[in-house]
Structure 1
Amino acid sequence: MDVLHSRRRARRLMLPLSAGFCAIALVSGCSAAQAPAPGPDATASGPAQPGPVAKAAGDLQSEYQTAINDVLPSVVQIDASESLGSGVVYDTKGHIVTNAHVVGDEKSFKVTVATGEKVLKATLVAAYPEQDLAVIKLDGVPDGLRPAKFGDSEKVAVGQIVLAMGSPLGLSSSVTQGIVSALGRTVSESRTAGGTGATIANMVQTSAAINPGNSGGALVNLNSEVIGIPTLAASDPQMGDSAAPGIGFAIPASMVRTVADQIIKDGKVTDSGRAALDITGRTVVNDDYRPAGVAIVNVQKGGAAADAGLRAGDIITRVGDAPISTITSLAEALAAEKPGQEVTVTYMRGDAKKTAKVKLGEI
């Protein structure tokens, strides 16, 4: 089974990947970093081939350093009693955005900012575990605190050079580099070992090394814009849980802004934009003890499933074109939809196969 692991320090968190990935797991404590990609001056054996003129190495290095100088002062280290992670300064009022699994169940934190060695105190504004995001606020705003600039998620492209900034293994103000490897990935966290249980859609996959402590930091383009919050990284259970270099995931900037703005304004998320069936369910197995669907344990009165005629005891096997075998696959299917959309839900009621048109609700 494909699994992912959040990059916090000390705790282990296993997270299943969406279909289409090779079998991997994510393991805390992995400190193997991705080697830098060859620069434009690198050569291969054999005769030189004509092609476009590459940007001079000095120019590219200058862009790296400019982005680092612009954004790294906005990346902080967050120390909770049972975890260590990173955060990004969101505004001049001292709000900092990070991962929900970094803050856990705690309400107060120690924060080290790049503008000074003094450890500052911060308190939780609110966490939104459904998207693995949270906002904390410094009790006092130091001079020179610099908010980061968040980029446009629509302009993120595969192959784009990116830098991951944070505090891997407690090494504050660290930077790794890579590219955007893929877009639109959907991953799901386990609820064990400190996980939030979130299913997160549209994540940015990156080859930039993401290690324990990077969670909540910044994934940055060469325009000095934060395009995502690094959250997960991979390792291979078939090789003794050793690191699988170059497979990391970040929550896109668009979702970060959506969640953070609502938390700062209202103290909570009031419009999640995430679809729901408004049920409580559990995974069921077939005669071969293989996952075979999600049994409805309870339907919310007046909710999406209830309005469509579904009831407790029905076993959901498909949402739209997506086959459903587990709670995780159901969450992943719903993550791809929007509240108010109508989808066809296929289910078993006793020995009869049925379908229903369901207008999706909202988490």
Structure 2
Amino acid sequence: MSTENEGTEVPPAPSAPPVPVDAPAAPAPAPQGAGPDPVSQEPRTADHGAPGAPAAFAASSGGAAPGATGPAHGGDWPPPPPAMPAYGSGGGGGGWGASYEPPQPKPGGRRGGLVAGIIAAALVAGAVGGGVGYWAAERGDGSDTGSTTVSASNPADLKRDKGTVAGVAAKALPSTVTIEAEGNNGEGGTGTGFVYDKQGHILTNNHVVAEAADGGKLSATFSNGKKYDAEVIGHAQGYDVAVIKLKNAPDDLKPLTLGNSDKVAVGDSAIAIGAPFGLSNTVTTGIVSAKDRPVASSDGTGSSKASYMSALQTDASINPGNSGGPLLDGNGNVIGINSAIQSASSGGMGGGSGQSGSIGLGFAIPINQANMVAQQLIKTGQPVYPVIGASVSLEEGTGGAKITQQGAGGSAAVTPNGPAAKAGLKPGDVITKLDDQPIDSGPTLIGQIWTHKPGDSVKLTYTRDGKEHTADVTLGERKGDS
């Protein structure tokens, strides 16, 4: 099996996520102490299987290869997650990963959750939810104050333009569902999904439905209260994307319009819909805060496989339960799937879920990538991953993605006759750029490669013995998560 793009553990996050060369970004906040507090993910609340906060995705099992500068991403894929890495230095701890809100645990069952990390940060899954209530009282003492009030016109006469948040929500809510997943062991939780096509397919996160993938119970409830049983058509743990299908789907389904995440600009409006902490049909707003944020995540169980994304960052409030829900632009087009948040701490919010709330750092899988994966899953039931055929270190401080001296289990770090080998890459080479995208670590390289398709040609810039070189690489493929 090819060892490309994989490793044995998730390294600490880089002090600052990579950004385009001509527009360096400010360094990301770092957790206090040796690393962020571990985060548990909600039992399928937002970031699949992770009740609560997601933890950093682990690399493949098997341990680091001898002679490697750092843990290599290779061997059995993906590897189990390591201890929660720190994101930069200083700052508060937190977890990455949007998990879904789980129901009250049943006797004898345990809550599961997805833990995610931005390169080296723990991610806490989730979606923000909350409600504002008001109390109004009327009193009349029979006295005439002489005050004259003016009543507004009938609310039914109020028309909201399509471009307003209310207009977008009115159109999108009927096509967004709250997902309840339960495994054979009684574990499960609540997440979100949205109508993908008229055939009844629903797009969501893998971690939202993974518990129910092998004979568990799965249902989807629409905003009008109608509930349908569903089944998992395919799920990709590496991408954290899944497709489920409604049983006895209605004939009047209205799929949400998919946007173009490549055309999204920082500062664009962003609208998130989900079921934070079980509060279905919650709408929150913000902007697209950044693009191409490297995020790694896992459920923190020690046996989970790694998931990587080059994410859209948003300050729209998302919390556990928002996972799998749509992130929309100002016109109501889906630009991403809400998957993870960074939390200030792992402290309690949301009725003892063990997760903190949103602090305005949310992450979504770009819809262009999610759409590509969804089509693969509907067609074949299994994911296909693009690879370069080389094992890279997941350690921070290598100045890029360093090809290890050995692959997992003593295998070759560069697959013989594989894409990297054909392009002339060797162990010890440090990849610093993929096309025009700076690469500062192994996980960043993996996330960028996975935005492409097998057969795509990419230009890799790398250093060897202090000299810079470039090579054109035609990406290979690996099928399935195992």
TM-score in terms of structure 2 length: 0.57
SS, match of residue 147 in structure 1: coil
Question: What corresponds to 1:63 in structure 2?
Answer: 164
Per-residue deviation at 1:33? 6.2
SS, match of residue 270 in structure 2: strand
Per-residue deviation at 1:78? 1.4
Q: 1:171 to 1:34 in 2, by over 3 A?
A: closer
Is 2:199 the partner of 1:93? yes
SS, match of residue 97 in structure 1: strand
Question: What corresponds to 1:307 in structure 2?
Answer: 422
Select 2:218's aligned residue among 86, 104, 110: 110
Distance in 2, Cα, partners of 1:66 & 1:238? 35
Is 2:258 the partner of 1:141? no
Distance in 1, Cα, partners of 2:472 & 2:450? 15
Is 2:438 the partner of 1:328? no
Distance in 1, Cα, partners of 2:458 & 2:163? 47
Per-residue deviation at 1:214? 0.5
Question: Which ranges in structure 1 are unaligned for 5 or more consecutive residues?
Answer: 36-56
Identity %: 33
Which deviates the most, 58-67 or 92-101? Answer: 58-67
Select 1:84's aligned residue among 190, 195, 209: 190
The residue correspondences of 1:2-13 to structure 2 (distance < 5 A) are 2=87, 4-9=96-101, 11-13=112-114
Which deviates the most, 251-260 or 71-80? Answer: 251-260
Task: For 1:96, give the aligned amino acid.
Answer: I
Task: Tell whether the 8 Å contact from 2:286 to 2:315 is kept in structure 1 after alignment.
Answer: yes
Select 1:172's aligned residue among 271, 280, 284: 280
Q: 1:261 to 1:13 in 2, by over 3 A?
A: closer
Which deviates the most, 152-161 or 228-237? Answer: 152-161
Is 2:390 the partner of 1:279? yes
Task: Tell whether the 8 Å contact from 2:402 to 2:430 is kept in structure 1 after alignment.
Answer: yes
Question: What corresponds to 2:370 in structure 1?
Answer: 256
Distance in 1, Cα, partners of 2:439 & 2:342? 25
Select 2:321's aligned residue among 213, 229, 234: 213
Task: For 1:341, give the aligned amino acid.
Answer: V
Distance in 2, Cα, partners of 1:334 & 1:28? 24
Question: What corresponds to 1:200 in structure 2?
Answer: 309
Question: What corresponds to 2:457 in structure 1?
Answer: 340
Distance in 2, Cα, partners of 1:292 & 1:154? 24
Per-residue deviation at 1:68? 1.2
Per-residue deviation at 1:92? 1.2
Distance in 2, Cα, partners of 1:60 & 1:200? 34
Q: 1:239 to 1:124 in 2, by over 3 A?
A: closer
Distance in 2, Cα, partners of 1:285 & 1:251? 23
SS, match of residue 199 in structure 1: strand
Q: 1:185 to 1:144 in 2, by over 3 A?
A: same
SS, match of residue 181 in structure 1: strand
Q: 1:294 to 1:239 in 2, by over 3 A?
A: farther
Per-residue deviation at 1:88? 0.7
Task: For 1:176, give the aligned amino acid.
Answer: T
Q: 1:29 to 1:178 in 2, by over 3 A?
A: closer
Task: For 1:198, give the aligned amino acid.
Answer: S
Distance in 1, Cα, partners of 2:464 & 2:473? 16
Per-residue deviation at 1:97? 0.6
Distance in 2, Cα, partners of 1:266 & 1:183? 30
Task: Tell whether the 8 Å contact from 1:33 to 1:245 is kept in structure 2 after alignment.
Answer: no
The residue correspondences of 1:16-31 to structure 2 (distance < 5 A) are 16-17=117-118, 25-28=122-125
Task: For 1:279, give the aligned amino acid.
Answer: A
Question: What corresponds to 1:265 in structure 2?
Answer: 379
Deviations along 1:329-355, one digit per CA (max 9) or x if unpaired, are 44246457773223244468xxx9997
Question: What corresponds to 1:49 in structure 2?
Answer: none
Question: What corresponds to 1:40 in structure 2?
Answer: none
Task: Tell whether the 8 Å contact from 1:16 to 1:187 is kept in structure 2 after alignment.
Answer: yes
Task: For 2:201, give the aligned amino acid.
Answer: H
Q: 1:238 to 1:126 in 2, by over 3 A?
A: closer
Per-residue deviation at 1:209? 0.8
Task: For 2:473, give the aligned amino acid.
Answer: K
Distance in 2, Cα, partners of 1:222 & 1:284? 39
Task: Tell whether the 8 Å contact from 1:7 to 1:210 is kept in structure 2 after alignment.
Answer: no
SS, match of residue 343 in structure 2: strand
Distance in 2, Cα, partners of 1:149 & 1:285? 39
Which deviates the most, 208-217 or 231-240? Answer: 231-240
Which deviates the most, 104-113 or 173-182? Answer: 104-113
Which deviates the most, 204-213 or 182-191? Answer: 182-191
Distance in 2, Cα, partners of 1:301 & 1:78? 44
Deviations along 1:25-81, one digit per CA (max 9) or x if unpaired, are 43357857699xxxxxxxxxxxxxxxxxxxxx9967982222111111111111122
Larger radius of gyration: 2
- Count of paired positions: 326
Per-residue deviation at 1:261? 2.5
RMSD between aligned alpha carbons?
A: 3.9
Question: Which ranges in structure 2 are unaligned for 5 or more consecutive residues?
Answer: 1-85, 88-94, 102-110, 133-157, 183-187, 349-354, 478-482
Q: 1:95 to 1:28 in 2, by over 3 A?
A: closer
Is 2:451 the partner of 1:359? no
SS, match of residue 72 in structure 1: helix
